[in-house]
């Protein structure tokens, strides 16, 4: 793999002061886990914007009755559509865009390619605790920018958290605002029980334009309290866009 040299950009703390988020490089709602700790306030993280790399693969087309070319193309498809490089990839950071060899700035994939790879994703049995795409809900393409996508996510579950607090006559306590995604029950929530959200959204550059693709995971483990599927589905519906 060949990586082109690029300068890093310092990621300022998400909150320089109360209610003053810094989203100049990465949306504040996405970058908050990268904030320096109280013990190391000068531990400022850096990001690598617009990193470019060339990945070269050599392989036999067929091996032991398997079509390796098709399998590798599917792996690359999944990497671009749902993967990423570095931290916070489930929230859009580290997204990659494959370009054509003829025109280095032209995206390789189109909207139709979303369907091409999706049909290979099977909903068979999986080992417990191995997250995989929820094939009951197809990927949703939304034409918004990164800041707007993060804002929609934050607004949706913050609103539902507030409703929950009012309904149960609770004050703002250590309960985390995790109505969307975090797979544990409200009344018994503990910080140490928190797992990754089943919702993934990330920027996707296609020939037709720039989109955000939103998908959901399932099977986060039998020992983990379950996420609220109705709430996740409601979030999908609130986004609009194409399926």
Structural element, H or E, at residue 141: strand 140-142
pLDDT in tens, 172-217: 544 444 434 444 344 544 544 455 577 889 999 999 999 999 998 8
Question: Is pLDDT above 90 for 110?
Answer: yes
Question: How far is Cα 216 from Cα 198, in angstroms, rounded to an integer?
Answer: 5
Which SS3 state, helix, strand or coil, does residue 235 take?
A: helix
More confident residue, 5 or 185: 5
Whether the CB-CB separation of 96 and 84 falls below 8 Å is answered with yes
pLDDT tens sequence across 48-96: 888 888 888 898 888 888 889 988 999 999 999 988 888 888 889 889 9
Quote the tokens at residue 166. Answer: 């009012």
* pLDDT digits 0-9 by tens, 134-162: 888 778 899 999 999 998 888 887 777 67
Q: Which helix (H) or strand (E) element contains residue 15?
A: none
């Amino acid at each position: 793999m060949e990586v082109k040299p690029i300068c890093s950009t310092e990621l300022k703390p998400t909150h320089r002061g109360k209610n003053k988020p810094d989203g100049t490089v990465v949306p504040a709602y996405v970058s908050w886990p990268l904030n320096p700790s109280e013990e190391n306030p000068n531990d400022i993280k850096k990001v690598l914007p617009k990193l470019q790399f060339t990945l070269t693969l050599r392989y036999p087309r067929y091996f032991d009755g398997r079509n390796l070319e098709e399998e590798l193309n599917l792996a690359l498809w999944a990497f671009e559509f749902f993967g990423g490089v570095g931290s916070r990839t489930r929230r859009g950071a580290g997204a990659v865009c494959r370009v054509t060899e003829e025109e280095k700035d032209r995206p390789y994939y189109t909207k139709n390619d979303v369907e091409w790879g999706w049909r290979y994703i099977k909903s068979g049995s999986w080992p417990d605790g191995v997250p995989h795409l929820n094939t009951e809900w197809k990927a949703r393409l939304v034409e918004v920018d990164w800041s707007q996508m993060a804002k929609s996510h934050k607004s949706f579950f913050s609103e539902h958290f507030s409703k929950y607090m009012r309904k149960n006559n609770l004050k703002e306590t250590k309960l985390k605002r995790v109505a969307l995604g975090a797979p544990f029950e409200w009344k018994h929530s503990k910080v140490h029980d928190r797992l990754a959200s089943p919702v993934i959204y990330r920027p996707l550059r296609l020939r037709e334009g720039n989109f955000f693709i939103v998908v959901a995971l399932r099977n986060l483990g039998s020992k983990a309290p379950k996420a609220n599927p109705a709430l996740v589905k409601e979030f999908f519906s609130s986004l609009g866009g194409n399926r």
